[in-house]
Amino acid sequence: MSTILPSSTRRAFCKGITVAAATTAYMSCAFTTIQAAHQRQESPQVDAHSLNVLLVHGAYADASSWLGVIPLLRARGYNPLAIQIPLSSLEEDILITRQALKTLSGPTILVGHSYAGAVITNAATNADNASALVFADAFAPDEGESILDIASRFPTPPINAFIVPSYTPNFVWVQPSAFPENFIQDVPVEQGQNLAVVQKPINPKAFGTRSGAPAWKQLPSWALIGMNDRAISPDALRFMAKRMGAVTREVASSHASPVSHPNDVVDLIVAAAQHIPVTIGRG
């Protein structure tokens, strides 16, 4: 398939980032700090009250998957927006995300979960107000690469055995009976069962669409890796984080970290925010 976006001038950004994210009292976490490969210029940081956080849901979920994250961001003074994407094609999901980004005034952190990592990878490219990327158990393809290309290099995750046709023609979802154990096994079973029956199907063609020029080559990136992810191989997540030069945090989470570990997701967003300079622009 042809690429979605044209290649663009890549701007070096943010070298030598390190972060020590706070460990939450109820969760045992492993931290890994990867030195970023981009250079960052020293400048004052943006006030939280002027910083937007654009939250993009993944496959088999919708914007309600951020309901645990949103109040935590608001309590810290950030301006969150959790958008609904159609999951009809990667191109359409990128378009909707770009349109949402254009409505936000000022520096914005884009946060993608799961499949939406590929969405923000493309939607933030050359966007004037895109300031940083956060990947929560998310794909981060390179130019000309698809999600399927990445997944094929690593062991098949358990959830793949339960991807079946949904009630929407030509769309797939996770077999509801298998959803709690394979998508979000670290919440009460009843909660997982409820999420299973409200999951949003996706057009599987989106997984095979090749990425355009990735924004993570222009912007500093952070990555949360769920060590108990049963939808994306944790080794695949580590590979992508290392390739991006992302600051990385590993937690004992399922694939659905925004739901089961919202504090860890927010900690990483806050860490990203602390490295955003006041003046954002492309010179």
Residue 178, pLDDT score: 99
Q: Which of 212, 244, 40, 62 is nearest to 124 (CA)?
A: 212
* Model confidence pLDDT, tens digit, residues 182-221: 999 999 999 999 999 999 999 999 999 999 999 999 999 9
Torsion 92-97-244-253 (CA) sign: negative
Q: What is the pTM of this model?
A: 0.82
Could you give the CA distance from residue 147 to residue 141 in angstroms, rounded to a whole number? 7
Q: Which of 139, 163, 24 is nearest to 90 (CA)?
A: 139
Residue 5 lies in a domain: no
Residue 7 lies in a domain: no
- Domain tally, the chain: 1
Cβ atoms within 10 A of the Cβ of 141, count?
24
Residue 124 lies in a domain: yes
Residue 278, pLDDT score: 53
Residue 280 lies in a domain: no
Residue 32 lies in a domain: yes
Residue 122 lies in a domain: yes
List, as one string, the DSSP characters of the chain: ---SS---PPPP-EES----PPPPTT--EEEE----EEE----PBPPGGG-EEEEE--TT--GGGGTTTHHHHHHTT-EEEEE----S-HHHHHHHHHHHHHTS-S-EEEEEEETHHHHHHHHTTT-TTEEEEEEEEE--PPTT--HHHHHTTSPPPGGGGGEEE-SSTT-EEE-GGGHHHHH-TTS-HHHHHHHHHHPPPB-THHHHPPP-S-GGGTS-EEEEEETT-SSS-HHHHHHHHHHHT-EEEEES--S-HHHH-HHHHHHHHHHHHTT-BS-----
Question: Which pLDDT tens digits describe the chain residue by residue (283 residues)?
Answer: 333 433 333 333 333 333 333 333 333 333 333 333 333 333 445 566 679 999 999 999 999 999 999 999 999 999 999 999 999 999 999 999 999 999 999 999 999 999 999 999 999 999 999 999 999 999 999 999 999 999 999 999 999 999 999 999 999 999 999 999 999 999 999 999 999 999 999 999 999 999 999 999 999 999 999 999 999 999 999 999 999 999 999 999 999 999 999 999 999 999 999 998 754 333 3
The chain-wide mean pLDDT, for the chain, equals: 87
Cβ atoms within 10 A of the Cβ of 72, count?
17
Distances in whole angstroms, Cα of residue 77 to Cα of each of 20, 52, 118, 141: 21, 10, 27, 31
Residue 4, pLDDT score: 41
CATH classification at residue 49: 3.40.50.1820
* Model confidence pLDDT, tens digit, residues 246-283: 999 999 999 999 999 999 999 999 999 999 875 433 33
| Structural domain harbouring 143 | 14-273
Residue 129 lies in a domain: yes
Cβ atoms within 10 A of the Cβ of 282, count?
9
Residue 2 lies in a domain: no
